[in-house]
Amino acid sequence: MRKRLVIGNWKMNMLKKEALELAQRLSELLSHLNQVDIVVAPPYTSLDVVYKVIHKTNIQLAGQNVFWEPSGAFTGEISPYMLIEAGCKWVIIGHSERRDILGEDDNMVERKIKASINAGLIPILCVGEKLDEREKGYTMKVIKSQIEKGLKNLNLADPNSIAIAYEPVWAIGTGKNATPEEAEAVHGFVRETLRKIFNGIADNIRILYGGSVTPENIKGLISSPDIDGALIGGASLRAESFAKIARLIGGMPHWT
């Protein structure tokens, strides 16, 4: 049985004061929600202030990115150990914004995944096709390649030591989410791909959907068998909407 998981990716938003207020409000709204694992990923500069608010609650902390070396002359980078020291249990890796804007490739993603797992962080590997790739019928090919390359030579015994996020690039920040049927088709394929890589544990690895998730569309998505939760951008910047999504993912009655 896979426990559902919801992650708020705050991206490059929230100065410290705003981050503090959002974390405080989330703690109030979500402290009793144990049916779902709840994670927030603030920018690096707010990790500390958010950790102080959430560390005694059920809300966990994630980094939005990481570098693969433990320390050294890598100006501007952050190591897995630095994230752990800041209170992180999780780290988002290979987000399409990093792939497309910052030039991150599958080889870098693979190194980041390995370094994070070795340090004791749980990576969330992001995969997803662009609009033109979908239109040409390449969706599954792109997803397969990103997963196989990102997880190359990785031996895992514990399914909870990683999560996958399927985020169709055309759905991110556009208000145009994949339908539950479109998302489930890819999630089922991700699960098949994981089975070929990890055999037994693949059925217990959590696969999240991301891309314009809102309180209005999450119910349809989460009722699909291979969608185990969501990675949320815009709607995670408002406490009420993130909490509402988290409650719906956790199967709680609708928020009033």
Q: Using CB under 6 A, which of the segments 74-82, 115-123, 138-146, 208-216 binds ligand 13P?
A: 208-216
Considering beta carbons, is residue 93 or 232 the nearer one to ligand 13P?
232
What is the C-alpha to C-alpha distance for residues 93 and 127, in angstroms, rounded to an integer? 9
Shortest Å distance, C-beta 64 to ligand 13P:
9
- Residue 233 sits in the site that holds ligand 13P (CB under 6 A): yes
Distance between first and last Cα of the chain: 29
Shortest Å distance, C-beta 177 to ligand 13P:
8
b/e per residue 149-159 (b: at least 16 CB within 10 A): ebbeebebeeb
Shortest Å distance, C-beta 75 to ligand 13P:
26
* Binding track, positions 160-199, relative to ligand 13P; x by CB under 6 A: -------x----xx--------------------------
Considering beta carbons, is residue 33 or 126 the nearer one to ligand 13P?
126
Residue 167 annotated as catalytic: yes
Considering beta carbons, is residue 80 or 233 the nearer one to ligand 13P?
233
The DSSP code for 5 is E
Total number of residues that touch ligand 13P (CB under 6 A): 14
What are the residues whose beta carbons fall under 8 Å from the beta carbon of 54, sequence distance 6 or more? 23, 26, 27, 40, 60, 61
Q: Which of 180, 210, 215, 229 binds ligand 13P (CB under 6 A)?
A: 210
Q: Using CB under 6 A, which of the segments 77-85, 107-115, 146-154, 232-240 binds ligand 13P?
A: 232-240
Q: Which of 220, 242, 219, 243 has the alpha carbon at shortest distance from 232? A: 242
Residue for token pair 């990115």: 65
**Rg of the chain on CA atoms, in Å:** 17
Considering beta carbons, is residue 99 or 247 the nearer one to ligand 13P?
99
Residue 106 carries which side chain, given as an amino acid letter? D
Residue 135 annotated as catalytic: no
- Residue 9 sits in the site that holds ligand 13P (CB under 6 A): yes
Distances (CA, A) of 230 to 9, 84, 177, 215: 10, 23, 12, 11
Active site amino acids: 95, 167
